[in-house]
Structure 1
Amino acid sequence: MRMLRRANKELRTLIFVAWLLGYVAFLLSIRRMWTGKHIRSPLVRSLFMSMVTENDTGTADQEVGMCCPDLLGESVRPLFVQSHLDSDTKAFLKRSQEKSSWLFTQLYHSLVSTVLGPMVSRTSINGFLGRGSMFVFSADQFQRLLRIVPDWTAERLLDLGAGDGGVTEVMGVHFQQVYATEVSPPMKWHLQRRNFT
């Protein structure tokens, strides 16, 4: 009986060591996928990139893509407005980077997205979770884009597919009446909370 127990224990140890070696061999065989570009899950990719860039200085040193207007057609060139990395944009990027490092929040969002994904649109899931807020331009960038002064106003604004109203709010300060449309019920709630018609 004692010999049987000892043989059983040795067999379990042998199976565990074989499994461990097999697992390590598997990880080594797919190590080329550890670059991050092959990771499909946004959560896992975010966690991986967070680990890889843990010692980076952050968004303040990020370069902004510059466009060469000389490559644009003659009819488009005078309409082009080069954007820049202003304080509002930096603040948005900093908040986004901070939120992406909230491990338990990201796990919760991933779980809810997985459960609701087959039944609800991604926009509605984002609205339910209070995420997915768009940043298209800052107030200063909007004014530069339209070539308007800060106190310029017009009568009405209609934002089609307004999402949670973040972009609508940036534009809305220049209009007397603001209307927004949205299909997603959770995003409609966000728009109502911001008192958009």
Structure 2
Amino acid sequence: MDYSNTNTELGTQGYKQVNVLLNTAEDWELWMGLRQQVAVSKGIWKFVNPESTDDFNKLYPEVALPFIGDYALKEKEKRYRAKEAQAQAEPGSQASTSTVAEDTPFGYQHLTIDKLALYQAAQKDAKESREVRSVLEQSLSSFSTDILTTVSQNNLRMIINKPTPREKLATLKARYYRGTYQHQTSLALKYEDLKKRPRCANL
């Protein structure tokens, strides 16, 4: 359900000026509408919407920074093998007992121009992905706090141990969203009304 139009007269900054405490079913629509406005403004609604299945960790997985050795190893190994061959070719010399890993640390000097460009591009992409994830994580944490500080004490007891904002909202929705209840009540009333009608009334 879209609650974004619940309180449109507040404007885009309205949720910052209005404090609504979720205590009863009568508070639900306005309270949830404000929560949706906050989540949308932070770009996290799809990760907290009880009706959504978008997985934050799948869409924004943790990304490790690239290891320069993955781009330099082949070039470095060539240099190492060349040095070994040169040492063996010189009269009276002994082959080096060092390994590729024990050689000098990986650095830009071990990269070709093409490999350097690939490494720098991968590093830039990884840093940008990490920054985006970090911002969204902070927004989700802030939103979770926002939920906890805008519900009554009884509601707080219900959701305090729910690990994600989506689970918190889903728990509250199950208690306060009256759409399903109203539909069931309407059907029950119609059924009772039909039972009370004389049989000839349907002819």
TM-score by length of 1: 0.24
Higher helix share: 2
Structure with the bigger RCO (C-alpha within 8 Å, sep 6+) is 2
Higher strand share: 1
Rg bigger for which structure? 2
